[in-house]
Structure 1
């Protein structure tokens, strides 16, 4: 029986979340995610094997409760799994976060947390000057 585009989309979207991994780049395993979901939601029956089947499209109809738990675990809207428009927007946001992480921007932002408004303004000025020296366009806020 051919796989519907909806179930193929679910498999692709879920697999994308797993491939993006956790902060720091290490990828989640099916068993780790299943265990975490069961810890947070003891009533949900899920295994690493079942998540693998969902990711490959061999299984196509997770319960709404499991979809909600997966969305919560990965920090995305539940619409990510069934609304192509929402999925595209969320995928773009996740890609932007990956770029920030890879470029070291997250590390810089973490260092700025807690600084006074005056110090943040000074930091912006320094970064703006560095961008100018490298020939990068100014940031528009």
Structure 2
């Protein structure tokens, strides 16, 4: 059995962090998507119970379904790898920052540019960063 407060904390954190820009997923939306896309059987009421700590014994299949929905490894919920959880949380924070700043939309629009277009876009970004007095180097955790 997964520790109740840990599971509730992890699920609530994902709901607060992994969502479309401007709104969070509802428990009902999560359950419906899992049913439609994965064939899973988890109700919105049970998701609410897990998120609020009122339920604490989900099946492994339910944990796997939630992990797939949010795009995290199962161990994110089980707490079996604390370093992995910290790494996933850091990546989720970066993704949320991209989503909330509108950079994600820009990246999607640029994704089908050819190499020359990407080079021009990078040069434009460097020019804008220089104009705003921002460093040109990426922080090490973002330089993949």
Q: TM-score, normalised by structure 1?
A: 0.86
Correspondences of 1:63-82 after superposition (within 5 Å): 63-82=59-78
Comparing both chains, which one has the higher relative contact order based on Cα–Cα distances under 8 Å and sequence gaps of 6 or more? Answer: 2
Q: Which residue of 1 aligns with 2:121?
A: 123
Paired residue secondary structure (1:135) = coil
CA–CA distance in 2 between the matches of 1:54 and 1:29? 13
Aligned counterparts, 1:45-124, within 5 A:
45-83=41-79, 84-124=82-122
**Separation in 1 of the partners of 2:6 and 2:105?**
33
Shift of 1:20: 2.4
Q: Is the 8 A contact 1:13 1:87 kept in 2?
A: no
Structure 1 residues not aligned, in runs of 5+: none
| Structure 2: tracts of 5 or more residues without a match | none
The answer (yes or no) to whether the contact 2:2–2:78 under 8 Å persists in 1 is no
2:4 is the alignment partner of 1:7: yes
The size of the alignment, in residue pairs, is 137
Note the C-alpha offset of 1:41.
4.1
Which residue does the alignment assign to 2:130? 132
1:28-82 Cα deviation digits (max 9, x unpaired) = 111221222223344x432111111111111111100000010001111111101
Specify whether residues 108 and 39 from structure 1 end up closer, same or farther in structure 2 by C-alpha distance, changes over 3 A only: closer
